[in-house]
Structure 1
Amino acid sequence: MSNTANVSILTDLPSGKEFRQAKLSNGLQVVAEVDPRSYSMSLGYFVRAGARNERDPQSGLSHFLEHMMFKGTARRSAADVNRELDELGGNSNAYTSEEQTVYYATVLPKFQDRIVDLLSDMLSPTLDAQEFETERQVILEEIAKYEDQPPFGGFERAFEIHFGPRGLGRRVLGTNESIKAMTAQQMRDYFYQRYRGENIVVAASGNVDFDGLVAQVESMTAHWADRPQPTALPEDDPNTLPDGVELTPTVDSPDANQTYWIGIGDGPSAADPDRHAARMLGSILGDEGSSRLFWELIDTGRAEVATCWPQEFSDQGAWFTYLICDPQNLASNLQSIRTLSDQLVQAAPNEKELQQAINKNTASYIMHSERPGNRLFGLGSRYLMHGEYLDLDQTISGMRGVTTDAIARVAKKYLAATPSAVQAGN
């Protein structure tokens, strides 16, 4: 660990766990929520490489690159990578979002060295041109499959309309046009641009040997500092639309029997103190199990789905409303949603209704957090985007501190405005 800097330990956590952090010489940060009582350990590489980081010629590259990480390295073939993941016997996968790409695994603590070696090696892929062409077809099939499923690209269109077709509004999968035009060299340049130590956090949770983790990651990633820095692409022309993108508020699907309606407006960011109140507001108004929308539209058989929720990003947020119903009921159902929303804008919920939402959300969060694999994602994402650690008790305290006045404030802020809307299906 002689090459590491800024090593810190936070031991007085109410949960009995220990938070540890180290910054390596290549800029990569390693963080861990250590709990020796756990029977497993989880590890993830969190990379600041998401759809919002792409330029038009790179649209879909973050997700495409995620696929290519499983296609072999200088030390392992694609078959070796997948065989070894199976041998370790845990849960492993990867995903790409608007703001990050994550590679993760949960294994027994005795396999820590092996999973660190494997995931670290995977992040130095060969990016073979032949594998690139093969995987291109896989990505195109994934896009086609997704567009065949309800709500038929409606959420992507909603993002594009609300945020614009770039940044947070850029499609994670890209478009048929962007994927077909993409080259292996563009992928290599994007890899060297984004997969650098300063853009990556290694997070671990559970029964972790932190000193061993830091030493091994330091050794295996030291050469990342030597990765070339390609010339950045020019800024996109804001007066044009990316190829394959439309901004019309309807998505045609003549074979559908139902109507899919998506409303999108502003919401709190992941750094906004009001995010906890917004989550409780979403639960009160549109929880799928028991909420005002549930009793008005689902329990009465007027809709199949009627829900709402805030979606948080690092510096912005969105408020979604989602309705699936018979086309004949669309207008009346939308009026009911507007009426119920206005009621919360005009008057805060009663204390009993708020406490029910708090109890349900805190219980769900506590049960979800029992496994190191679940704690990993909040830990890594929070540190990558905000450089901070929030333990379980801090988050629960934020939820339990929500008041009816806070609910009234966020209702006026996010429910009063008329949302942008996208309609798909019949």
Structure 2
Amino acid sequence: MIFHEAKLDNGLQIIAELNPNAHSLALGYFVRTGSRDETPEVSGVSHFLEHMAFKGNEKYTADDVNRIFDEIGANYNASTSEEITLFYGSFLPEYIETAMELLSTLIYPTLRQEDFDMEKKVILEEIGMYDDLHSFTAYEKVMQAHFQGHPLGQSILGSVQSITDLTSEQMRDYHAKHYLAGNLTLAIAGNADWIKVLELADKYCKHWPAGQSERPTDEAQPKTGTQTIVEKKTQQQHIMQLGPAPAAQDLLRLPAEILAVVIGDDSNSRMYWKLVDPGLAESAELGFNEYDGSGTWLTYLCSDPELTESNLQLIQEIFNEVNQNGITQEELDRAKNKLASRLVLRSERPMGRLSSLGGNWVYRQKYYSVQDDLELLNNISLDDIQTLLKKYPLGHSTTAAVGPMTSVVD
């Protein structure tokens, strides 16, 4: 593996982890913009823009974009989160120029009015689809409650009202403000020639406007409380709970990843053996989510409504025990092995390396090889776990419940 980095005059950052022995190539544009960068008036515009990107520009129509990607056999898509909009593709190395041109086209689409009007209907349908997913509703509600008054509490999809009211002019203004070269990172993983990469970046990206939009990253001060959304037709109760955890730039993020595996992984964790294996719950998990300046412990429970209260008590008992006594060396070693295995298996494909490569650069402006990640992982000790628990004990500030129960005892 050979790492390269460069920056165009307009501020576009280019990073590459090249492997001449790989049989494929993955490429992605990481745009540092998401729902947290929106105002209430344009809520959902980042995700809407992700859809509009595939409508093409003056040179390529929407049909052209999708047809050409298919012709070169590319696996391509895009995603929007609270903080990053990502456009990516993986393909055979010989098609790098075609793929680079098309992915660059996605960054600066024409944003035609007729495309905007048509895609707005698609977005509204998507919002309706997710409204029917009770776990998603619980997540949206708990994020809004936990981050009330903080940008991270803003919905990725937006609301029916915000999308209905959104105008194409507002979208163009948002795009012009946030899709600046200094807000973008071009990441490449796999089999490519670095000189060729720089030539193509210069050819397709050097004319992009320079600049970078600001993002306040103050740590959130979560609000406490419980929200209950009654869905009488639902057979199961969905519970989401959030508590403060390390931010993306915090050295405690790796101990947090390990602890989440020990306590709430979907197999062989404390919550699994206490709740899922005995049949008390369909799902009982703990996750760690990192953001710019903030982080969360995310607890998810899905179970029979009649067992919800006792299950929540069991989860709290697990948290209390860990906060007081920590975890064992055996649990730590097992979690390290699980994470190391996942890391290595994912890294064997260029597409698997792309998200780690780009994410580390966007959040930390640093390159970590697979070996670097493994070394960091192996160096985590029980003392690090104790330091983490002292600063960010397991627990929750906010709860959202979706299901037949009219109230949930928190």
CA–CA distance in 1 between the matches of 2:155 and 2:287?
A: 20
Structure 1, unpaired ranges of 5+: 1-16, 233-246
Are 2:387 and 1:409 equivalent residues in the alignment? yes
Counterpart residue identity of residue 51, structure 2: H
Structure 2, unpaired ranges of 5+: 215-224, 405-410
| CA positional deviation for 1:384 | 2.2
1:315 aligned counterpart, secondary structure: coil
**1:290-348, Cα deviation, whole Å (9 max, x unpaired):** 01111111111111101101101122100011101111111111111111111111112
Match of 2:222 in 1: none
Matching residue within 243, 246, 249 for 2:227: 249
Match of 1:128 in 2: 112
Match of 2:30 in 1: 46
- Summarize the alignment of residues 35-184 of structure 1 with structure 2, pairs less than 5 Å apart: 35-164=19-148, 166-184=150-168
Match of 1:349 in 2: 327
**1:75-98, Cα deviation, whole Å (9 max, x unpaired):** 001100010111110210000111
Match of 1:388 in 2: 366
| CA positional deviation for 1:279 | 1.2
Q: Contact conserved, 1:314 with 1:386, CA < 8 A, in 2?
A: no
Q: What TM-score do the two structures reach when normalised by structure 2?
A: 0.93
**1:11-49, Cα deviation, whole Å (9 max, x unpaired):** xxxxxx111011101111111001111000111111112
| CA positional deviation for 1:381 | 2.1
| CA positional deviation for 1:394 | 1.4
2:201 aligned counterpart, secondary structure: helix
| CA positional deviation for 1:166 | 4.7
Matching residue within 287, 303, 309 for 2:281: 303
CA–CA distance in 2 between the matches of 1:385 and 1:348?
A: 29
- Summarize the alignment of residues 149-228 of structure 1 with structure 2, pairs less than 5 Å apart: 149-164=133-148, 166-225=150-209
Counterpart residue identity of residue 27, structure 1: G
CA–CA distance in 1 between the matches of 2:347 and 2:146?
A: 32
Matching residue within 312, 331, 343 for 2:290: 312
Q: Contact conserved, 2:297 with 2:395, CA < 8 A, in 1?
A: no
CA–CA distance in 1 between the matches of 2:361 and 2:131?
A: 33
Moved more, 410-419 or 101-110: 410-419
Q: Contact conserved, 2:182 with 2:210, CA < 8 A, in 1?
A: no
Q: Contact conserved, 2:319 with 2:395, CA < 8 A, in 1?
A: no
Moved more, 404-413 or 180-189: 404-413
**1:163-221, Cα deviation, whole Å (9 max, x unpaired):** 12551111111111100000001111111111111111111000022211111111222
Q: Contact conserved, 1:152 with 1:424, CA < 8 A, in 2?
A: no
RMSD over aligned Cα atoms: 1.8
| CA positional deviation for 1:413 | 3.1
| CA positional deviation for 1:152 | 5.0
Counterpart residue identity of residue 88, structure 2: Y
Match of 2:408 in 1: none
Q: Contact conserved, 2:26 with 2:350, CA < 8 A, in 1?
A: yes
Match of 2:407 in 1: none
CA–CA distance in 2 between the matches of 1:401 and 1:27?
A: 35
Q: Contact conserved, 2:243 with 2:394, CA < 8 A, in 1?
A: no
Counterpart residue identity of residue 382, structure 2: T
Q: Contact conserved, 1:59 with 1:170, CA < 8 A, in 2?
A: yes
Counterpart residue identity of residue 222, structure 1: K
| CA positional deviation for 1:395 | 1.3
Structure-2 change in CA distance of 1:165 and 1:136 (3 Å): farther
Q: What TM-score do the two structures reach when normalised by structure 1?
A: 0.89
Counterpart residue identity of residue 372, structure 1: P
Identity %: 38
Matching residue within 269, 283, 297 for 2:247: 269
| CA positional deviation for 1:418 | 4.2
Counterpart residue identity of residue 12, structure 2: L
| CA positional deviation for 1:385 | 2.7
